[in-house]
């Protein structure tokens, strides 16, 4: 079983905490933007997290993949929904999406399994 999602999150925890201490106002502003963007509206939060997961694959951002895979699970996304979302990235990004898409699906299924034990 992969620990792709948790491993990436753990590796980023300390440097992120240190940077947050150095620029707390920037992080506070980013948190406000995050909370506003992910608030349920016409689109529910699960859908928004799946969109963010697709963008994370497109941007080839492992930390973003881990964060949004986990959040999508917490908001009720299924492995089938994650797979279809990732599939769209193949169309939009070609070959690199097949690499980062596989990473995203591994992280998603890891969090999904842990959440549903």
Number of domains in the chain: 1
pLDDT of residue 2: 57
Shortest CA distance to 65 belongs to which of 11, 106, 20, 114?
106
Q: In terms of residue numbers, what domain contains 37?
A: 4-115
- ∠ CA 55-3-32, nearest 5°, is 40
CA distance 89 to 53: 10
Whether the model pTM is above 0.85 = yes
Residues 72-117 have pLDDT tens digits of 999 999 999 999 999 999 999 999 999 999 999 999 999 999 999 8
- Confidence at residue 117, expressed as pLDDT on a 0 to 100 scale: 85
The enclosing domain of 60 has a CATH number of: 1.20.1290.10
pLDDT of res. 69: 98
Digit-coded pLDDT (tens) for 41-77:
999 999 999 999 999 999 999 999 999 999 999 999 9
């Amino acid at each position: 079983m992969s620990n792709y999602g948790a491993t990436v999150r753990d590796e980023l925890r300390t440097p992120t905490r240190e940077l947050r201490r150095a620029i707390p106002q920037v992080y506070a502003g980013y948190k406000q933007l995050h909370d506003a963007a992910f608030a349920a509206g016409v689109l529910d939060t699960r859908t928004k997290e799946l969109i963010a997961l697709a963008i994370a694959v497109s941007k080839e951002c492992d930390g973003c993949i881990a964060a949004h895979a986990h959040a999508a699970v917490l908001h009720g996304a299924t492995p089938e929904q994650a797979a279809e979302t990732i599939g769209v990235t193949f169309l939009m990004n070609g070959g690199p999406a097949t690499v980062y898409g596989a990473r995203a699906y591994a992280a998603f299924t890891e969090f999904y399994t842990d959440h549903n034990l």
